[in-house]
Amino acid sequence: MSIDGGEHWVPATIDRGSPDDPWAWRAWSWDWTAEPGEHTLCCRARDASGGVQPVDERWNVHGYANNAVQRVAVTVQPDVNLSELPDLLDRRPVRSELVYLLVLLDKEYTEAAPTEPWPDYYARRLIEHFS
């Protein structure tokens, strides 16, 4: 696995229960502690002799034999820890009040369908409520 577009690689784990057939797809897993920011995730296979999939595909008119590494761009948003809420709100909210507000905000956001991204909408409304 790579989180930087193929510059650096770390191993993943083939899951138990994957078929023994050498041509079968294999289930695999990889633990990643995502840091906020932009990342390009890549995965590639390695065979028993150490050969790996190419990072870039070789172009051909019919698109045959495309076994190159595929890339997926992801954006990881910073997460607000509930333990940070008292500092952000200048008070310690009661958990039941937070649950109630989050359910209410879900309904409001769905019904209103605002153009504002939901994390911004929720943050703004929570701050308004507790101010």
Higher pLDDT, 36 or 86: 36
Largest CA distance in the chain: 64
pLDDT digits (tens, 9 = 90+) for 30-85: 888 888 889 999 998 888 898 988 888 877 787 777 788 888 999 888 765 556 77
Q: What's the pLDDT score for residue 81? A: 59
Q: What's the pLDDT score for residue 80? A: 59
Q: Is the pLDDT of residue 87 over 80?
A: no
Distance (Å, rounded) from C-alpha 59 to C-alpha 30? 30
Cβ contacts of 90-97, under 8 Å, gap ≥ 24? 90/130, 91/130, 93/130
Are 130 and 88 in contact, with CB atoms under 8 Å apart? no
- Token pair belonging to 93: 């909210």
Q: What's the pLDDT score for residue 1? A: 93
Are 43 and 12 in contact, with CB atoms under 8 Å apart? yes
Distance (Å, rounded) from C-alpha 87 to C-alpha 89? 6
Mean pLDDT on 88-107 = 81
Are 37 and 77 in contact, with CB atoms under 8 Å apart? no
- Token pair belonging to 74: 């992801």
Q: What's the pLDDT score for residue 3? A: 93
pLDDT digits (tens, 9 = 90+) for 100-124: 888 889 999 999 888 989 888 888 8
Comma-separated ranges of CATH 2.60.40.650 domains in the chain: 1-78
**Residue 48 to residues 7, 19, 45, 63, Cα–Cα distance (Å):** 22, 16, 10, 26
Q: How far is CA 64 from its chain centroid?
A: 30
Q: What's the pLDDT score for residue 60? A: 77
Q: What's the pLDDT score for residue 10? A: 93
Q: What's the pLDDT score for residue 82? A: 58
User: Domain 1-78: which CATH class?
Assistant: mainly beta
